[in-house]
């Protein structure tokens, strides 16, 4: 079994924080393609279109017949053939994390790979391979033990490939919604040390407020993402103590483009969803980045809950989708910036949530509790892009296959 | 595959070592120039006399051989760039020999030079190859230590080779280095020191690893007539082999291209492993030394423990090995480390060693191994050299 992670002691304020270096970042374009699959939690290898043979490391042509290569999901089994414990490195990140175990794994899919080894996987063992993103946003193969190992998630090497909320302090930006409250509860259930829950209007009551306030480990804090001072004040107060930011703020309103829409709705939606995201990024991003290698409760992630309609637009919710699209665009930029600092910028794409603002839409809709489970799973897996609910999954799959067709379908 | 054509009309001579230093602020160009200058002093040749140039380096970027030619004022009618590190000596020898034999060039200077500036080792590693960027260095960034640790781990399990066996090779090489005034490692090494050294990347420990440094090595390939005219002692090439990316399907490397080609090597040479008086093999990690001994026909892999226990590898021993101390004890000057086998083999059979002389040495086996592009060394080569004329 893996030793359970101990809750960290209070930080010594006189100690200099370890700088958040990232592992070597230089990669080929093919490796970057692999990263896009890792971001979605898929275990893929390149396969030759002509001879069907799988290959690794990432190549640009098949080494068997020089055919074209495509990324395909693969059998994730393997066997460890050799291992080593690295005790010396010239790299600034790994040097701070010695010793580090790696191994050579013969993949059931065919090729041999050098991989990170879970503490409970060693020579001769059958392993389950997972494709992760490292702190720098690059693809990494990790060998996990087969079967249930107690505290498997607590392996210190594995933890650096996730943003597991256990023992971490989290800010949920909007606690006035069912979604925000469900996420706060799920995080505490997952072992979060503390969940700060934003309330944009502390003087106005909202449903669930009392239950939230009564939750052990939850604390309501004033936070209005449409107010730069409010965001700045909270960051000044809590920035150095927040390890994960989960942005649940957003505004959903019905309406088309030429028909049935109010400009004020669009403006308010953009201010909350888009400008709000940038306010949060500017206020909390640098603080997260400065603490990305700060021990068990190092800063780990910024997760944005965003409507999947941002990918395609959506008839009847055009303004909401436009705001989501702008948000996704900002997230891409933010992700690129934070990769250099060792912080994961994650998105959970959601279909219409089963709430008052989506009454007109038919089922299936995404239950807040399901959305919360998806958020926690994304953090525990370190998965950059996740879909919450069947609608989001369906739309995302169609969009991956044919973005232009999906846009037409969603806007008929 | 027919038998390799003989190397008639080819003379190898003038081994040069520019004394190594741990760190150097100078460039690969400076070290290359230093090697050419030493070669000129030894042979009396000047830039205009050198009509062939074969070059190996990891640290000359952005320049390749052509940049070096203009930088150092050469005007060759034949040149080659060999980017294969530990295999570059053998490969340079083969290419230069055929160029001379066929009349494409008459006087070929083969030079390997690398600098080692502060932090240049880490930078070289970080940009070493595409596969290492994508698929090895992000995995703990242990550099070659980690890659060879995996190879050593598997080798020890597969063949039962022990650390004591590897240790005996390292200890013998250190003893050899003690007589070489240019070797960087000057402290005697005992098997106890070896066994008790700190682990670097299990099962690789401190004395399994080479010391990166700056330096240059060179030798001359020309015709026997020209060598005589210059008054140089010469060796002839009896036989050579070269192979790249052999046994690509082996999960972990436990053999190199030598295994595939060693029979051809000894057939052409007209002798066997028992007929050489010294062996100069690539030695970045003793597992590779052991692998070469077995792949080149000295013993089987399961028999390595017994073979190594039964032999002495010092200069006065039964099988003198890496008689200058090898890279493990003399230092690894990048690609120049891949030339040491040729220059030291030549020195022993031409009776001009840096340290002590192997008695009666007239035939040497030299072997190279290079370029860990991903998870294993990709390039292998070997040559048998024999003394022709002492001058």
Segment B36-89, tens digit of pLDDT? 999 999 999 999 999 999 999 999 999 999 999 999 999 999 999 999 999 999
Rg (CA), chain B: 19
Please name which of B43, B141, B55, B131 lies closest in space to residue B92, comparing C-alpha atoms: B55
Tell me the per-residue pLDDT of B147-203, one tens digit each, with 9 for 90 and over.
999 999 999 999 999 999 999 999 999 999 999 999 999 999 999 999 999 999 999
The verdict on A397 touching B (C-beta cutoff 8 Å) is: no
The residues, any chain, with a CB within 8 Å of residue A211's CB and separated by 6 or more, are A181
- Residue A65, classed as helix, strand or coil, is coil
For residue A58, the chain B residues in CB contact (below 8 A) are: 134-135
B358 touches B323 (CB < 8 A): yes
In chain A the first and final C-alpha atoms are separated, in Å, by 54
- Domain boundaries of chain A, sorted by first residue: 29-159, 169-410
Q: According to CATH, what is the number of the domain A169-410?
A: 3.40.50.720
Rg (CA), chain A: 22
DSSP A339-401: HTTT-EEEEEEE--BSSGGGTTSPSP-B-HHHHHHHHHHHHHHT-SEEEESHHHHHHHHHHHH
Q: Is residue A257 less than 8 Å (CB to CB) from chain B?
A: no
Confidence (pLDDT) at A218: 98
**Is the CB of A84 inside 8 Å of chain B's CB atoms?**
yes
Using CA atoms, how far apart are residues A116 and A73, in angstroms rounded to an integer? 20
Closest CA to A26 of B125, B192, B246: B125
Residues 110-169 of A with CB under 8 A from B: 112-116, 123, 134, 138, 140
Task: Return the H-helix or E-strand segment holding B175.
Answer: helix B163-178
Q: Is A196 left (phi over 0), alpha (psi -120 to 50) or beta?
A: beta
On chain A, the residues whose CB falls within 8 A of the CB of B153 are 82-84, 123
Asked if the C-beta of B367 comes within 8 angstroms of chain A's C-beta atoms, the answer is no
**Domains in chain B with CATH codes:** 11-119+214-230 (3.40.47.10), 142-211+235-389 (3.40.47.10)
Model confidence over A169-189: pLDDT tens digits?
A: 999 999 999 999 999 999 999
Asked if A56 has any chain B CB less than 8 Å from its own CB, the reply is yes
Whether residue B282 contacts residue B256, with contact meaning beta carbons closer than 8 Å, is answered with no
- What are the beta bridge partners of residue A106? A79, A112
- State how beta strands A112-117 and A100-107 pair: antiparallel
Q: Residues A6-30: pLDDT tens digits?
A: 999 888 888 899 888 998 888 999 9
Across the interface, which of A27, A30, A116 has its CB nearest the CB of B139? A116
Cross-chain Cβ contact A57/B135 below 8 Å:
yes
**Residues A349 and A374 sit within 8 Å (Cβ to Cβ):** no
Decide: A109 and A54 in contact? Cβ < 8 Å. Answer: yes
Mean pLDDT, rounded, of chain B: 96
Backbone angles phi and psi of A102, in degrees to 5: -130, 165
Which of the four pLDDT bands, split at 50, 70 and 90, describes residue B1?
confident
Residue B26 contacts A where some CB pair is shorter than 8 Å: no
Split at pLDDT 50, 70, 90, the class of B118 is confident
Query: Would the CB atoms of A57 and B145 count as touching at under 8 Å?
Result: no
Shortest distance between the Cα of B160 and any Cα of chain A, in A, equals 14
SS3 content of chain B, % helix, strand, coil (to 5): 40, 20, 40
Q: How many CB atoms are located within 10 Å of the residue B370 CB?
A: 27
pLDDT tens per residue across span B247-298: 999 999 999 999 999 999 999 999 999 999 999 999 989 999 999 999 999 9
pLDDT-wise least confident of A150-159, B112-121, B186-195:
B112-121
């Amino acid at each position: 079994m893996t030793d359970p992670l101990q809750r960290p002691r209070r930080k010594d304020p006189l100690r200099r924080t370890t700088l958040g270096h990232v592992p070597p970042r230089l990669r080929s374009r093919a490796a970057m393609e692999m990263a896009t699959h890792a971001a979605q939690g898929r275990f893929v290898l390149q396969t030759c279109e002509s001879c069907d043979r799988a290959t690794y490391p990432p190549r640009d042509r098949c080494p068997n017949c020089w055919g074209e290569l495509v990324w395909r999901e693969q059998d994730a089994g393997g066997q460890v053939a050799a291992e080593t414990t690295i005790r010396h490195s010239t790299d600034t990140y790994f040097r701070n994390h010695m010793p580090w175990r790696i191994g050579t794994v013969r993949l059931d899919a065919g090729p041999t790979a050098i991989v990170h080894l879970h503490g409970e996987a060693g020579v001769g063992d059958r392993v389950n391979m997972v494709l992760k993103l490292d702190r720098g946003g690059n693809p990494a193969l990790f060998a996990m033990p087969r079967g249930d190992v107690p505290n498997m998630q607590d392996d210190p090497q594995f933890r650096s490939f996730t943003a597991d909320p256990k023992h971490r302090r989290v800010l949920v930006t909007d606690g006035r919604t069912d979604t925000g409250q469900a996420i706060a509860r799920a995080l505490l259930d997952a072992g979060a040390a503390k969940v700060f829950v934003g309330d944009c209007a502390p003087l106005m009551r909202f449903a669930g407020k009392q239950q939230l306030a009564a939750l052990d480990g939850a604390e309501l804090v004033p936070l209005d993402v449409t107010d730069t001072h409010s965001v700045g004040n909270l960051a000044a107060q809590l920035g150095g103590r927040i390890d994960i930011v989960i942005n649940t703020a957003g505004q959903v309103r019905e309406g088309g483009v030429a028909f049935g829409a109010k400009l004020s709705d669009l403006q308010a939606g953009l201010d909350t969803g888009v400008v709000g995201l940038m306010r949060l990024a500017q206020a909390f991003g640098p603080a997260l980045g400065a603490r990305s290698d700060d021990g068990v409760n190092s800063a780990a992630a910024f997760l944005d809950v965003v409507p999947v309609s941002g990918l395609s637009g959506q008839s009847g919710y055009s303004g909401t989708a436009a705001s989501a699209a702008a948000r996704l665009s900002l997230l891409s930029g933010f992700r690129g910036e934070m990769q250099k600092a060792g912080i994961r910028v994650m998105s959970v794409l959601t279909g219409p949530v089963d709430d008052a603002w989506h009454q007109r839409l038919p089922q299936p809709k995404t239950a807040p509790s399901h959305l919360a489970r998806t958020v926690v799973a994304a953090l525990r897996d370190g998965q950059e892009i996740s879909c919450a609910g069947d609608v989001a999954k369906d739309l995302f799959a169609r969009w991956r296959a044919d973005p232009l067709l999906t846009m037409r379908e969603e806007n008929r | 595959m027919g038998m390799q054509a003989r190397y008639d009309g080819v003379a190898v001579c003038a081994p040069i070592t520019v004394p190594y230093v741990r760190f150097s602020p100078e460039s690969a160009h400076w070290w290359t120039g230093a090697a050419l200058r030493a070669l000129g002093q030894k042979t009396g040749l000047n830039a205009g006399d050198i009509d062939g140039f074969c070059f190996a380096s990891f640290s000359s970027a952005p320049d390749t051989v052509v940049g070096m030619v203009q930088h150092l004022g050469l005007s060759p009618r034949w040149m080659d760039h060999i980017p294969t590190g530990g295999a570059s000596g053998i490969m340079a020898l083969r290419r230069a020999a055929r160029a001379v034999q066929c009349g494409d060039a008459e006087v070929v200077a083969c030079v390997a030079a690398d600098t080692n500036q502060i932090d240049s080792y880490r930078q070289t590693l970080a940009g070493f190859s595409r596969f290492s960027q994508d698929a090895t260095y992000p995995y703990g960034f242990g550099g070659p230590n980690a890659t060879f640790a995996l190879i050593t781990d598997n080798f020890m399990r597969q063949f039962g080779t022990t650390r004591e066996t590897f240790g005996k090779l390292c200890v013998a090489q250190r003893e050899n280095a003690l007589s070489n005034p240019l070797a960087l490692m000057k402290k005697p090494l005992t098997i106890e020191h070896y066994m008790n050294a700190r682990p670097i990347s299990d099962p690789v420990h401190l004395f399994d690893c080479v010391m990166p440094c700056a330096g240059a090595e060179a030798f001359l390939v020309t015709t026997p007539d020209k060598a005589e005219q210059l008054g140089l002692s010469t060796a002839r090439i009896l036989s050579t082999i070269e192979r790249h990316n052999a046994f690509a399907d082996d999960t972990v490397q436990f053999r190199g291209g030598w295994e595939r080609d060693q029979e051809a090597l000894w057939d052409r040479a007209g002798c066997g492993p028992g007929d050489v008086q010294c062996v100069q093999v690539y030695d970045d990690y003793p597992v590779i030394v052991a692998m070469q001994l077995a792949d080149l026909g000295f013993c089987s892999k399961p028999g390595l423990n017994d073979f190594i226990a039964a032999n002495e590898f010092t200069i006065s021993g039964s099988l003198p090995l890496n008689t200058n101390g090898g890279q493990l004890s003399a230092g690894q000057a990048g690609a120049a480390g891949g030339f040491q086998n040729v220059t030291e083999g030549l020195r022993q059979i031409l009776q001009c060693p840096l340290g002590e002389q192997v008695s009666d040495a007239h035939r040497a086996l030299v072997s190279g191994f290079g370029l860990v592009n991903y998870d294993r060394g990709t390039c292998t080569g070997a040559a048998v050299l024999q003394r022709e004329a002492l001058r």
